Structure 1
Amino acid sequence: MILKGNQRAGGTDLATHLMNAFDNERVEVAQIRGTVAEHLHGAFAEYEALAAGTRCKEPLYSLSVNPSAPLAREQYYAAIDRIEQRLGLSGQARAVVFHVKHGREHAHVVWCRIDTAKMRAVQLSHDRQKLRGLARELAMEFGLELPEGLAEDKRTERARKKEQTLAEKAQAEATGITPEQRRAEITQAYRRSDSAEAFRAALKEKGYVLAAGDKRVYVVVDRFGKIHSLARQIDGVRTREIGQKLAAIEAQVEGVDAVKATIAQREASSRARIDQRVKHAMAERAAKLATLHKARRHKLGGKDQQLATTHGAERMSLHAAHKAEADKPFARAAGAIFALFDRVPGLRSVIAPLRRNPKINPTERHRIEREALERRHQRERLVLDRRTKALSRLEAWELRSLATAVRRQVQEMEAAREQKAETVQDQIVVNKLDIVLPHGELHAEANKKKGWKARQDKLGAGKNREQDQSRGYRRGRDEP
């Protein structure tokens, strides 16, 4: 079981991220506790409203629970209750959301850190260490496997360096290449290369360009123009060893600015073509997403219509009740008496408190009830409008995710096409040289290889003759 938690702000973006149905196969809001709002955007807005009365800048605590094997909902909630008790968040408002991504279910829990009784944020000291201990306890209790690094009592410096940061996660989502995949590809290219030139060619084949950085000796630039330290991408090799291996091509390695300029120029030349392909792919893939958006809009539109019908019925009912009460003899008499007293200046100030008393004056009570009903209707309408705006933000988020995924796929296909075109062009150049160069220069290397092969064949023939003679056979005869 992996537990990752952090204090944060930005409740609107967090709610939109948790409700994103494009990046997740299934989204389920399982629990919203301690708030008036029944949806994530409203609940997180209440969390931030409470924080406005304090100095807390990060009123949310977000936790992801990712087990190595499927768990029952009772096990999830038991783990969540134990976690919030250990962190000191017992009784705080919280929201629980379940996601299914790549066929695996995991949970997200968001707590409000503001203690309403004391109006201050709950202090979360050493939460990382507590979560690591809880991960080990829950894994043993539920029979789950511990991931690499959690089995140790202390986190080593190497594991700390390899931990994926939020920036690396965002970069991986934008490029489609995780840091682990990138390190594995570059490490494999380094270990399989016997020279500096072969290593640079292997990097180019995988879509990376070797460059000279400003602060670091060598860096690699991927096809998207992102810069990575070469020493941190190769496992088990020191920076000095890398420098010694690449010393032969040190003068040939371009600077990182020149490499980025080349990549930017190549992207500019192919941008129109990529944009056109992205537009066609978006038109095809956006249909499914539009169906999901339409279903959400239809559901929210039904609530809007139901709310309008309910509000109209309540206003009509209140108006009918007020009219029925105003037609009663006591109400008419009280109105006539108050109107008579209002004509006398001396009595006007005396009866003013009685006139403002809703128990005595039905008209005043009717006004208070109409205003209360109107305020409640405005609050309910405001909640629905907030949900509509949240749905618009969610749809925009999902469209951006779709556009990012489509553009990444198109860029990968374009890079593969360019790589294939470069290979074909290099082969054409080699073929031209084969045709143009003189026979002696052309086949000099080939003759060397043929001479070496002839010598090997001669040695092999000699060995075969000795074996035949030892067995009693003679060459050219069928029998001994």
Structure 2
Amino acid sequence: MILKGSQRGEGTDLATHLMNTYDNEFIEIGEVHGAVAEDLHGAFAEFEAVSLGTKAREYLYSLSISPPSKMSREQYADTIREIEKGLGLTGQPRAVVFHVKDGREHCHVVWSRINVETMRAIHMSHDHSRLMDMACKLARKYGFELPDGLKKWEAKQRFEKDYLEATRAENAQAEETGITPEMRAAQITEAYNQSDTAEAFRAALEQQGYIVAKSDRRDFVVVDEFGNVHSLSRHIKGHKPKDKKAKLAGLSAVHLPSVEQAKELALQIAQARLDAQRKHEETSEAMAKAQAELRALKDKRQRKEQESAIRQAARRLKVQIAEQELLTRQQEERLLLHVAQLAESKGFLFRIRSTVADLIGRVPGLRSVLGPLQNLTHLDPKERHRLEDEALSRRHARERQSIERRKGKLALVEKREQQSRAKALRLEQRLEGKIRLTAEQSAHISKETLAQAEHKAMQDFYDAARDQGLWQQRVFEEGELRQTFNDAAGIDATPPNSGDGDSHTPDPHDDPDDDGDDDDPKMRRRRGKGYGYRRDSD
């Protein structure tokens, strides 16, 4: 049993995510407790309204329960009670949602962290450890087999994860690009293990399609081919932090691009790769296999779109029926009230009361004495009819507003489903490009064209950056470059003080390229600072 929990805000976004029928085959709202609203958007809006009386920004605690096999609703209820007792959330308002995704059922539980009695957020310290302990306990209770990580946790052993605990942003990137954090970490770790120096590591990462950049928050980051930014040290597995820091010390942040520059370079390389791929012709056998795989992806997407369209139509029809029933009932109520008031107005008692009320209203003396009494007791039947009309109109307006709110939340859910469809389409397009590239490579299409295109894109980017002054270059003083080289090579280049006058001292009026080297007077030297040669006309 896997338990994953986190504190968060943005209740509207979470409710929309939980009601997304495109990514989930089945959705069931199991329970909404501690809220007036019966839907997730309304309940989470109430939780947020309560949190405004505190300083808490992450006013929700979201938990996912993923059992290895199907559980009954009673087992889920018992599990939720155990977990909220262990987390200190007993009695807090909550919502329970059941999902079926790719044939696997799991459960989401969202609690409000705000204690309405103290108006403070419940502290959730060490929730990860508590969830791990409860996952072991519940798995033993229901007879589930523990995964390796929980086995080591239960034995109180140090568990070095060989995978990355993906964040919500990384999960979204994996869905969009098809590259999981584990795959990325394996590539970066392999490049790290095969490199002896920091520069070799950077070159190996470039071969894998990653660009090392400097960051304001971290020492170094990598930018992938899609322009996404990732922590470099976090993706190097199996090495101690001090060893990674020592090896990466050879990378100079001054000579690395910034994150924005690396993103621009990644886009240029991707565009160059795409342009090079378009120059190749499709091969018959490889492309037939690729097209078959692509058709399978398109069929899956189209099937999900059709199922989602059916569910959307059912939701919209349900809201439309409720709206039509509401409008019909309100029209009947208005008609019945009008008939009742009309029948009453024709009676003798109504005319007497109206005449008395008119008399009180016309005579100042009576109005000052009997007017307040008449207003309190509603003796004037016309005034009572007006108040009944207004009360009915206000109630009808509230009911219509409730329907409009349901329609608005439904629009949010449909928008999220449309975003999921667009994400699936982008993934399909990227997979289409990768399949085409694989087919071309299997047909012995030369890879030199791609390498040349990428190299040209990188060279053009570096040249443009240098021309615009985006790179910080080092300006050597006269003789400093030679001295730096000699120091690095361990060469003692100090001339002996022989006094025999054999050493050659350059004359500024002689050849401007003469460096004064005794061994080879034909050697040339640079004059002044920086780059470039001095011209004879200077």
What band does the TM-score fall into relative to the shorter chain? 0.7 to 0.9
Which among 325, 330, 346 is matched to residue 344 of structure 2?
325
Q: CA deviation at 1:272?
A: 11
Partner of 1:392: 411
Q: Does structure 2 retain, via aligned residues, the 8 Å contact 1:92–1:115?
A: yes
Q: CA deviation at 1:229?
A: 5.0
Residues 1:425 and 2:449 are matched in the alignment: no
Considering fraction of residues, name the structure with more helix: 1
Q: Does structure 2 retain, via aligned residues, the 8 Å contact 1:311–1:377?
A: yes
Q: Aligned partners of 1:24, 1:12: CA distance in 2, in Å?
A: 18
Length-normalised TM-score, structure 2: 0.66
One-letter code of the match for 1:142?
A: Y
Which among 259, 264, 269 is matched to residue 267 of structure 2?
264
Q: Give the secondary-structure state (helix, strand or coil) at the position aligned to 1:38.
A: coil
Q: CA deviation at 1:263?
A: 2.8
Residues 1:173 and 2:194 are matched in the alignment: no
The alignment's C-alpha RMSD in Å is: 4.2
Q: Does structure 1 retain, via aligned residues, the 8 Å contact 2:215–2:221?
A: no
Q: Does structure 1 retain, via aligned residues, the 8 Å contact 2:60–2:112?
A: yes
Q: Aligned partners of 2:199, 2:54: CA distance in 1, in Å?
A: 60
Q: CA deviation at 1:339?
A: 0.8
Q: Give the secondary-structure state (helix, strand or coil) at the position aligned to 1:105.
A: strand
Gap change, CA 1:356 and 1:122, over 3 Å in 2: farther
Q: Which moved further from structure 2: 356-365 or 157-166? A: 157-166
Q: CA deviation at 1:192?
A: 8.9
Q: Give the secondary-structure state (helix, strand or coil) at the position aligned to 1:149.
A: helix
Q: Aligned partners of 1:118, 1:362: CA distance in 2, in Å?
A: 49
Aligned length: 420
Gap change, CA 1:101 and 1:162, over 3 Å in 2: same
Q: Which moved further from structure 2: 355-364 or 306-315? A: 355-364
Q: Aligned partners of 1:316, 1:273: CA distance in 2, in Å?
A: 73
Residues 1:67 and 2:88 are matched in the alignment: no
Q: Aligned partners of 1:363, 1:53: CA distance in 2, in Å?
A: 44
One-letter code of the match for 1:265?
A: Q
Q: Percent identity?
A: 46
Q: CA deviation at 1:100?
A: 1.0
One-letter code of the match for 2:150?
A: L
Q: Aligned partners of 2:209, 2:31: CA distance in 1, in Å?
A: 46
Q: Deviations over 1:399-438 (max 9, x none)?
A: 1111112112212332453466576124799xxxxxxxxx
Q: Does structure 1 retain, via aligned residues, the 8 Å contact 2:6–2:63?
A: yes
Q: Aligned partners of 2:95, 2:203: CA distance in 1, in Å?
A: 51
Q: CA deviation at 1:62?
A: 1.6
Q: Deviations over 1:338-366 (max 9, x none)?
A: 11111110111222222223464444443
Q: Aligned partners of 1:36, 1:244: CA distance in 2, in Å?
A: 58
Partner of 2:87: 87
Q: Give the secondary-structure state (helix, strand or coil) at the position aligned to 1:107.
A: strand
Gap change, CA 1:230 and 1:338, over 3 Å in 2: closer
Partner of 1:410: 429
Q: Does structure 1 retain, via aligned residues, the 8 Å contact 2:360–2:371?
A: no
5 Å matches for 1:151-300?
151=151, 152=153, 156=158, 158-159=160-161, 162-187=164-189, 208-209=209-210, 211=212, 221-228=223-230, 232-237=234-239, 260-268=263-271, 285=302, 286=305, 288-300=307-319
Q: Aligned partners of 1:181, 1:202: CA distance in 2, in Å?
A: 16
Q: CA deviation at 1:19?
A: 0.3
Length-normalised TM-score, structure 1: 0.73
Q: Which moved further from structure 2: 365-374 or 417-426? A: 417-426
Please, which runs of 5 or more residues in structure 2 have no aligned partner?
278-293, 451-538
Q: Deviations over 1:320-353 (max 9, x none)?
A: 2333333333232111111111111011122222
5 Å matches for 1:32-111?
32-111=32-111
One-letter code of the match for 1:398?
A: E
Q: Which moved further from structure 2: 72-81 or 217-226? A: 217-226
Gap change, CA 1:240 and 1:126, over 3 Å in 2: closer
Q: Give the secondary-structure state (helix, strand or coil) at the position aligned to 1:12.
A: helix
Q: Aligned partners of 1:233, 1:57: CA distance in 2, in Å?
A: 30
Please, which runs of 5 or more residues in structure 1 have no aligned partner?
430-480
One-letter code of the match for 1:167?
A: A
Gap change, CA 1:269 and 1:194, over 3 Å in 2: closer
One-letter code of the match for 1:263?
A: A
Q: Give the secondary-structure state (helix, strand or coil) at the position aligned to 1:330.
A: helix
Q: Does structure 2 retain, via aligned residues, the 8 Å contact 1:225–1:260?
A: yes
Q: Does structure 2 retain, via aligned residues, the 8 Å contact 1:62–1:111?
A: yes
Q: CA deviation at 1:157?
A: 7.8
Q: Does structure 2 retain, via aligned residues, the 8 Å contact 1:4–1:131?
A: yes
Q: Which moved further from structure 2: 52-61 or 101-110? A: 52-61
Q: Aligned partners of 1:186, 1:86: CA distance in 2, in Å?
A: 39
Q: Deviations over 1:22-71 (max 9, x none)?
A: 11121111212232222111111122222334443333222211122211
Residues 1:345 and 2:364 are matched in the alignment: yes
Q: Aligned partners of 2:165, 2:399: CA distance in 1, in Å?
A: 45
Q: Does structure 1 retain, via aligned residues, the 8 Å contact 2:176–2:426?
A: no
